[in-house]
Amino acid sequence: MHGRVAAAYIALILVALGTLTWVLIALMLDSYYQSLEREIAGQARLVAQVIDAEGMAEPDARRLTGLAEDMSEQIGSRVTLIGADGTLLADAPPLAEPGADPFARPEVVQAMLQGEGESRRFSAVTGRDYLFVAVPFGAAGRLSGVVRIGVSLTAISAVERRMAYTASGVALIAAAMAFGLAILIARRTTRPLRELRQLAGRLASGDLDATVPIPPDEDMAALAQDLNQMASRLRQLIYTSERERGRLGTVLATMGDGLLIIDPDGMVSEANPAAAAALDLPPLPFPLAAISIGRSLSAALHQPQLPGATGPIILNELRPQEHGRSLRVIVTRPTSGDTRQAIVILQDLSELRRAERARRALLANISHDLRTPLASLQVMLDALQDGALDERDVAEDFVRRMDVEVQGLSRLVNEFLALSRIESGQEELHLVPNDPAGLIESAVARMAAQATQRGISLHTDLPPDLPTISVDTGRIEQVMLNLLQNALAFTPGGGSVTVRAAQDGPWLRVAVADTGVGIAPEHLPHIFERFYKSDPARSGGGTGLGLAIARHLVERHGGEISAASTLGVGTTMTISLPLAPAPPR
């Protein structure tokens, strides 16, 4: 209790200190800004007087530019001269935003209408905040243009930070002093109540043998006698309750389904370990198996409609987003009396639903990738049957295109079978020591003709002393070919694909970097999933299985595969393979 009292004192002091500090800093900064604005306005009027005095009110780009540069160098600020028609006459240093309309600047409009204007804003050209002050110029009361002075607020930001640091330090020192004083006052205030609470706490923690001495004070003596009688009754009740609770706990703890017991107030009073697992709660010992104990049924299951439902038995299936699970909820209620009393059974259907989703996704992907080439084949067969067979050139073109579609179907089936064998563990690896440089050069040589045909530079960057790796030669070469094919497919002509390799501790890192179109950040985490294609621009006519196969093959070798990409710049695919163990001496 004394902690809460002390905290209240400290909070009040901190709020007062914080408010006072904020007000002082705001007043000081406002005064500083006003002084700075007056100084800049004076400089702007000085430039306007120089222009009027030298008779340069009429636009003369060379003379005005020279004047602006001289004045900018003298006062150390940005000087901009703008004509009455909005023309930018001079800017020193030349930092005007491309295509910017001077009349769109509030300080320029204010200067023309009111005789002086100011504004603070961020400059996209310099990446800094500026304070701008503008005044008009012109001889004989005729408006010829506007002089604008701009000053960077970087130095002022440093002043703000120093003020904030100083104020924070003072506030911390004051808070520390207030903390000690508040604790001292709180201890003196709450000492009698604290002693009484300690005695009650011993009883609440199970020390029922503790007794309260009878004090001489009449009121305190009555309270002590009541506490002693309560302890005696609690000893008997707890003994009986613990015996029954132990029996019930054994039953609930061994149940396969989750179980929640709802009390007459509609609150969760019991929960077994299976319920904790179903709701992804910490597996604490029964009966504290779920932190939902003491909460309402709707709060525990995140389903506000359940407590108000009627009927002896309610069946419902929940899919709480935060748990990623599917739960069948069976709520059994009494047919009469207080219907808030209930026993809730939780059956975890997550694995069943996950398997169903995976099956549906697999069928949908296969159907999609089969439907397109089959439809194309059907169209070309119909055209041939309708007379295109008599036109030799058309027929030969159809036959070539049909051959491409058939090869694509064959590749899809072969890759799907290969992925199925790898995922099921039926694919055996024949690991032999290999020179990684030889594997890489072999894969690059096989893809050299395709790179030349597309006008892409394909080369390697390999150190001369790469360590040996123990891999299945054919499978790792398959991975390299897949990465190179992807790189060439998504790199435009004139681009380049580079293969690099280096030892990194116990790993060999092989990177295939291209200067292609890149991959959007939202697609990057999913590119190694089967059938995943980020968008039509990157589909390239592939099956969507190549990278999934590559990932499984690399992982079967005990390695890792990753991707890094910048959209419009290029992509780097990196595989990490463990080095071959050193031969015994």
Distance (Å, whole) CA 509 – CA 463: 12
| 439 Cβ neighbours under 8 A, 6+ residues apart | 471, 473, 476, 477, 480
Between residues 284 and 360, which one has the greater pLDDT? 360
CATH assignment at residue 522: 3.30.565.10
Q: Using CA atoms, how far apart are residues 399 and 380, in angstroms rounded to an integer?
A: 8
**Which residues lie closer than 8 Å to 547 by C-beta, 6 or more apart?**
482, 486, 527, 528, 532
Q: Tell whether the torsion through CA atoms of 362, 368, 374 and 377 is positive or negative.
A: negative
For the chain, the residue count is 585
The Cα 562–Cα 574 span in angstroms is 5
401 CA to centre of own chain: 45
* Domain count within the chain: 4
Burial class (CB in 10 A: 0-12, 13-18, 19+), 141: exposed
Listed in order, strand segments (DSSP E) in 6-143 are 78-83, 88-92, 117-123, 128-137
In a domain, 388, yes or no: yes
Instruction: Write the DSSP symbol of residue 580.
Output: P
Residue 164 inside a domain? The answer is no
Q: Which of 44-53, 409-418, 475-484 has the lowest mean pLDDT?
A: 409-418
pLDDT score, position 492: 93
Q: 3-state DSSP call for residue 520?
A: coil
| Single residue among 290, 322, 348 that ends a domain in this structure | 348
Residue-wise pLDDT for 34-77, tens only, equals: 877 888 888 888 888 888 777 665 556 678 888 888 888 887 78
Q: Is it the case that residue 403 has pLDDT exceeding 90? A: no
Helix, strand, coil distribution of the chain in percent, nearest 5: 50, 20, 30
Range of the domain at 541: 432-578
Could you report the per-residue pLDDT of 363-393, keeping only the tens digit for each? 666 676 677 677 778 888 888 888 777 788 8
**In this structure, are 284 and 384 located in the same domain?**
no
First to last CA, the chain: 71
Residue 584, in any domain of the structure? no
pLDDT at 101 over 70: no
In the listed set 329, 348, 367, which residue is the last one of a domain according to the structure? 348
Residues 357, 497, single domain; the answer is: no
The residue among 286, 221, 214, 292 whose CA lies nearest residue 254 is 286
Residue 230 has pLDDT above 70, yes or no: yes
Question: What CATH number should be reported for the domain holding residue 382?
Answer: 1.10.287.130
Same domain assignment for residues 411 and 312: no
Are residues 185 and 12 in contact, defined by beta-carbon separation less than 8 angstroms?
no
Q: 341 and 478 share a domain?
A: no
Domain check: are 361 and 309 in the same one? no
* Residues 26, 125 within the same domain: yes
The answer to whether residues 340 and 363 belong to one domain is: no
> For residue 163, what are the contacts with CB-CB under 8 A and spacing of at least 6?
25, 28, 29
Q: Which amino acid makes up residue 40?
A: I
pLDDT in tens, 137-187: 887 667 888 898 888 877 677 777 777 777 777 777 877 777 777 777 767
pLDDT computed for residue 290 by the predictor:
38
Residue 567: both structure tokens together: 């959209």
d(CA 240, CA 234): 10
Over residues 494-499, mean pLDDT: 95
Chain centroid to Cα 360, Å, comes to 29
Q: Please report which confidence band the pLDDT of residue 536 belongs to, taking 50, 70 and 90 as the band edges.
A: very low
**Any alpha helices (H) in 54-95, and if so which ranges?**
61-75
Cα separation of 509 and 430, whole Å? 21
Name the least confident of 92-96, 140-144, 291-295, 502-506. 291-295
- Please tell me whether residues 375 and 322 are part of one structural domain: no
* Token pair in block for residue 37: 């604005």
Query: Which residues is 510 bridged to in the sheet?
Result: 501, 575
Which CATH number do you get for residue 295? 3.30.450.20
Return the pLDDT at 405. 76
**Alpha helix ranges (H) inside 61-153:** 61-75, 106-114
174 within domain boundaries: no
Query: DSSP string spanning 528-566?
Result: TSTT--S-HHHHTT--S-HHHHHHHHHHHTT-EEEEEEE
- Check: CB of residue 466 under 8 Å from CB of residue 499: no
In a domain, 166, yes or no: no
Does residue 476 sit within a domain? yes
> Residue 374 corresponds to which tokens in the numbers above?
């089959």
Do 8 and 154 share a structural domain? Answer: yes
- Confidence tier at 396 by pLDDT (50, 70, 90): confident
User: Of 212 and 98, which is predicted with more confidence?
Assistant: 212
Answer whether 0.85 is exceeded by the pTM.
no
**Interatomic CA distance for residues 156 and 169, integer angstroms:** 20
Amino acid occupying residue 442:
S
The reported pLDDT for the residue numbered 56 is: 60
Residue in the structure block whose two tokens are 């209240």: 8
Helices (H) and strands (E) in the chain, counts: 13, 17
The residue among 94, 112, 145, 120 whose CA lies nearest residue 37 is 120
- 520-529 per-residue burial string, b: 16 or more CB within 10 A, e: under 16: eeebbeebbe
Among 380, 405, 423, identify where a domain stops. 423
- ∠ at Cα 581 (576, 583), nearest 5°? 150
Tokens of 523: 């697609």
Helix 2-53 vs helix 154-204: angle between axes, to the nearest 10 degrees? Answer: 170
The span from the CA of 542 to the CA of 531, in Å, is 9
Residues 389 and 341 reside in one and the same domain: no
Written as six digits, the tokens of 491 are 């790199």
Question: Which token pair is 563?
Answer: 């991707």
Is residue 304 located within the same domain as residue 365? no
Mean pLDDT of the chain: 76
Residue 11 is assigned to a structural domain of this protein: yes
Residues 152 and 286 in one domain: no
| CA–CA distance, 59 with 48 (Å, rounded to integer) | 14
Whether residue 206 is contained in a domain is answered as no
Give yes or no for a contact between 511 and 500, defined as CB atoms under 8 angstroms apart: yes
